[in-house]
Structure 1
Amino acid sequence: MSTWSWISYYAQAIAQAGIPIIPFSKSPHWSPEELGDQRGKVILITGGNSGTGYQTARQYYAHGAKVYIGCRSPERAAEAIENIKKGGDIDLYGEWSFTPVDAAKAGSVEFLQLDLADLESVGRAAKEFNAKEQRLDVLFANAGVMASPVGMSTVQGYALQFGTNVLGHQRFIAELLPLLSATSRANPSNPARLISLASLGQMFAPKGGIDYDALRAGGKQLDKWAEYGLSKWGNVALAKYVDTHYGPASGVDGPIIAISVHPGVVATNLARHVADTSSKVYNAALPLFNVRASKGTLNQLWAGGADVETARKLSGHYVACYQTQSPYRPDIDNAGAVDKLWDYCTAQWSK
């Protein structure tokens, strides 16, 4: 990889970061109304109880889909479902407003108990979903943690950001691949999709993307931002792997469209480990650097709902702000590194 490849990547990544204060930032050219009628579709969203996951669930519900929100807490899920049904939206400062949903067009929304930081919970959730549904049109691998304190770990002892953002999602995706492929076989004109929520943070990943010595608690410790970058590199890699081995160009029966997405710099509870969200300074700076979750969800909604021809072309690629195919880290093109990550993750839960 040339020095110019890296310089070009960083320049474009910053330009397409979705930070309001950057004067040449692009504006959205797509709205959720363009989702159209989603009746008959089944949508599954990890972390669907808050942030961009909640907004994704809200829009698909309003357009008629059967929506599952993956969440650890039944109480938080119940509150989210109530707000989704009431058409609740939340602003930069956590204030709610409600716009009634057209009952004639609305779908349904259900809770799926899922803790991505516990591989056993992930396995149970996938098994439950596979038993309930005969199709899965779009899987949004949306949930995640950011910049959690160094040393925090998952139930099975993996570094928290890697274990939640990558390892938990990889098992969930792997367990649902047969259902996604079956959906594509039954609907060849509109294949199933995997939308993996990545981030501009991928630029902070270590050289090569993954430092395997730093994935287990008690081993090598990375700075919290390097660990976050590693996990976001991993989220791009998961979509890249699925596209390579199951995508439209793979030649498999029942191809799956797989796209990774950067949502922009969004005001959600993802920032809880980063800043004092109650401080006056933080609140004053919010509109300069952050967008509300309803805007931050536009990229993943577009990737999930774009016309099939556009979606096929985007498979294996990375979308940044807004609705723009953008460069991912140049080392993502190392197929061996991507396969190695997938195989490593599979080995951890296969044990």
Structure 2
Amino acid sequence: MSAWSWITYYAQAFAHSGLPIVPLSKAPHWSPDELGDQSGRVILVTGGNSGTGYQTAREYYAHGATVYIGCRSAERAAEAIDNIKRGGDVDIYGEWSYAPVDAARAGSVQFLELDLADLDSVGRAAAEFVGKEKRLDVLFANAGVMASPVGLSTKQGYALQFGTNVLGHQRFIAELLPLLRATSRANPANPARLISLSSLGHMFAPKGGIDYNSVTADGKQLDTWSEYGLSKWGNVALAKWVDSHYGPRAGAGADGKGGEVIAISIHPGTVATNLSRHIVDNKSKLYNYAVPWMSVRASKGTLNQLWAAGVDVETARKLSGNYVACFQTQSPYRPDLDNVESIEKLWEYCTAQWKK
């Protein structure tokens, strides 16, 4: 790309960053009420016990879906499920308020034990889910860690941000793809969807996206933001891989068996969640002053992924393989994400790790 193209790309990215202080960022023009009746549908949200994952689970539960929240702790899951059933919403300072949920309209919500930083846990969670459900309408690859201290690793020895955000999710997606495709074959007019939570931070990835010398804990150490950017580049890449093999333009799919899966990556905006726990002290005066200017509450930050999952099928098919930024806007992504070889290499690398 030319220098001017890069300038244009960064300007567009900033304009749709979701920062409240950026006037060019479009206000949301979609409401979760537009999800409509979700009864009979099955939704799975990784990291569904907090932040945007919690809000996603909350909305689908209120609209009648069968919802699974994947998280590591049964205790935190139980607390989240209680709040979901009570209609709990949390503001930018972590204060809760509650609104009654229409019990006649509500669905169900269940805990799925899932630790994305442990590939064995990921495999067990996928097998447990497939054993319980015969369909999966939307998989939200939502969970993640951000700006964790350099040197932390997953159980199998991968750099924590890559291992959690990319490697763990890739195995989970791969294991659940047959169920997503079967759901689409049973209802081709409304195909299953994968919503991959990425970030504007994907622009901080190293040149080419993934530096494979840095993805293991004993390899080259990147600074924390480069490692985070690498992982968010990977989250866009995972959605692009699924789209290229099984998306609307893939015909009968890579194996000729059909089963379309719409795959969209999104940027939620700058959201006030516990994702930033490694960056700031939530009790500091500076944080309390800055947060209204720098972030939005989780319910607003959830709108992009809810919209991508709930928008009409024709629009969703056009978005498949693309990246949605704030708010409900198809936005440019890093140009190196159009490198087919890089996308394939990442998927094959991840698959090889958990098949060892």
Superposition TM-score tier, normalisation by shorter sequence:
over 0.9
1:172 maps to a residue whose letter is: F
The equivalent residue for 1:186 is 186
User: Is the CA contact 2:265–2:321 (under 8 Å) kept in the aligned structure 1?
Assistant: yes
Q: In the TM superposition, what are the counterparts of 1:49-60 in structure 2 within 5 Å?
A: 49-60=49-60
User: Is the CA contact 2:16–2:24 (under 8 Å) kept in the aligned structure 1?
Assistant: no
Question: What's the offset of the Cα at 1:24?
Answer: 2.0
Partners of 1:130 and 1:147 in 2: CA distance: 33
Partners of 2:116 and 2:246 in 1: CA distance: 23
Question: What's the offset of the Cα at 1:273?
Answer: 0.5
Tell me the secondary structure at the aligned position of residue 97 of structure 2.
strand
1:304-344 Cα distance to aligned partner (Å, 9 max, x none) = 11011111110000000000000111100001000100000
Tell me the secondary structure at the aligned position of residue 249 of structure 2.
coil
Bigger shift: residues 3-12 or 19-28: 3-12
Please tell me whether residue 312 in structure 1 is matched to residue 317 in structure 2: yes
User: Is the CA contact 1:266–1:291 (under 8 Å) kept in the aligned structure 2?
Assistant: yes
Question: What's the offset of the Cα at 1:6?
Answer: 2.2
The equivalent residue for 1:3 is 3
The equivalent residue for 1:285 is 290
Partners of 1:210 and 1:10 in 2: CA distance: 20
Q: Which of 274, 278, 296 is equivalent to 1:273?
A: 278
1:307 maps to a residue whose letter is: D
The equivalent residue for 1:78 is 78
2:307 maps to a residue whose letter is: W
Q: How many correspondences in the alignment? A: 351
Question: What's the offset of the Cα at 1:72?
Answer: 0.1
User: Is the CA contact 1:5–1:330 (under 8 Å) kept in the aligned structure 2?
Assistant: no
The equivalent residue for 2:242 is 242
The equivalent residue for 2:101 is 101
Computed over aligned residues only, the root mean square deviation of the Cα atoms, in angstroms, reads: 0.6
Partners of 1:299 and 1:113 in 2: CA distance: 26
Question: What's the offset of the Cα at 1:94?
Answer: 0.6
1:121-165 Cα distance to aligned partner (Å, 9 max, x none) = 000000000111000000000000000000000000000000000
Question: What's the offset of the Cα at 1:218?
Answer: 1.4
Q: Which of 274, 298, 305 is equivalent to 1:300?
A: 305
Q: In the TM superposition, what are the counterparts of 1:1-351 in structure 2 within 5 Å?
A: 1-251=1-251, 252=253, 253-351=258-356
Question: What's the offset of the Cα at 1:172?
Answer: 0.1
Partners of 1:10 and 1:223 in 2: CA distance: 21
Question: What's the offset of the Cα at 1:249?
Answer: 0.5
Partners of 2:4 and 2:141 in 1: CA distance: 32
Partners of 1:212 and 1:219 in 2: CA distance: 9
Question: What's the offset of the Cα at 1:4?
Answer: 3.2
1:184 maps to a residue whose letter is: S
1:29-74 Cα distance to aligned partner (Å, 9 max, x none) = 0000000000000000000000000000000000000000000000
User: Is the CA contact 1:39–1:63 (under 8 Å) kept in the aligned structure 2?
Assistant: yes
Tell me the secondary structure at the aligned position of residue 293 of structure 2.
helix
Question: What's the offset of the Cα at 1:5?
Answer: 3.0
1:299 maps to a residue whose letter is: N
Partners of 1:316 and 1:7 in 2: CA distance: 23
Runs (5+) with no aligned partner, structure 2: none
User: Is the CA contact 2:268–2:325 (under 8 Å) kept in the aligned structure 1?
Assistant: yes
1:155 maps to a residue whose letter is: K
User: Is the CA contact 1:9–1:330 (under 8 Å) kept in the aligned structure 2?
Assistant: no
2:22 maps to a residue whose letter is: I
1:224-272 Cα distance to aligned partner (Å, 9 max, x none) = 0000000000000000000001101101201100000000000000000
Question: What's the offset of the Cα at 1:8?
Answer: 1.9
Question: What's the offset of the Cα at 1:23?
Answer: 2.1
Bigger shift: residues 67-76 or 274-283: 274-283
1:278-308 Cα distance to aligned partner (Å, 9 max, x none) = 1011111110000000000000000011011
Question: What's the offset of the Cα at 1:11?
Answer: 1.0
Partners of 2:34 and 2:94 in 1: CA distance: 26
